[in-house]
Amino acid sequence: METTGRTDQERSAERRRRELLEAADRVVLRDGPGASMNAIAAEAGITKPILYRHFGDKGGLYKALAVRHTDALLDALRAALDAPSARRERVEATLDTYLAAIEANPQVYRFLMHPAEGTSQGEGAFDVGLHSAPLLRRLGEELAEVIEERVDLGPESALLSRVWGHGIVGMMHAAGDWWLGERPCSRAQLVRSLADLLWGRLAAAGDRVGGPGF
């Protein structure tokens, strides 16, 4: 049959692509985001031009890698986000899921946050807004959706949910990044502290000495 023939080809191409991605993954995890295309090709047992035929350029390869990992993390987060528990517990579960993921393999996490290097050879006009890690954007949008569909925020809910989605994700990310570097406390403590912040403890706390506190 002709269909089997074409399907075989396509399946073979896809399998090859997955193999290449896995090799690239190994190299990036070992050598960091600056791994060379030669190194990746060598790890995969082939040479550069094949990589370029499959992924176009280095950006394409890295994007494919990032999508893989981002999808995996997003699945885990969605599960925590959709659990049938009280809001605070769910927030804590989501925070903990994220932190556990970046704790489990920081290399992946690091790679996801610095995917865009670009030879900069291109046009000088760069648009701010596309530069930062796409993972954070996706997370922010995802969280925004969940917030808007679940929480009653009054008339401005569309705007508020998005601001909060991105804001909370950024909070989680920055705190997690700092925590990974310094390890000043347990994961559970960090989760509780962040949830406390989101629960308005900053506003509720009293001033320390004289004058108006922060």
Q: Which of residues 58-87 bind DNA (CB under 7 A)?
A: 58-59
Binding a second copy (rule: CB under 8 A), the pick from 34, 45, 75, 155 is 34
For the chain, give the number of residues: 214
- Range in contact with a second copy (rule: CB under 8 A) among 49-57, 59-67, 71-79, 141-149: 141-149
- Enumerate residues 18-57 that contact DNA by CB under 7 A: 35-39, 41, 45-50, 52-53, 57
Counting Cβ atoms within 10 Å, is residue 24 exposed (0-12), middle (13-18) or buried (19+)?
Answer: buried
Instruction: List helix spans (H) across 32-86.
Output: 37-44, 48-55, 58-81
Half-sphere exposure of 84 (CA within 13 A, CB side): 0
* Structure token digits, residue 196: 């406390």
Told to check if 104 binds a second copy by CB under 8 A, we report no
Report yes or no: 146 and 81 within 8 Å, Cβ to Cβ.
Answer: yes
- Enumerate residues 98-137 that contact DNA by CB under 7 A: 119, 121
Binding a second copy (rule: CB under 8 A), the pick from 68, 134, 180, 187 is 180
Least separation in angstroms between CB 63 and a second copy: 17
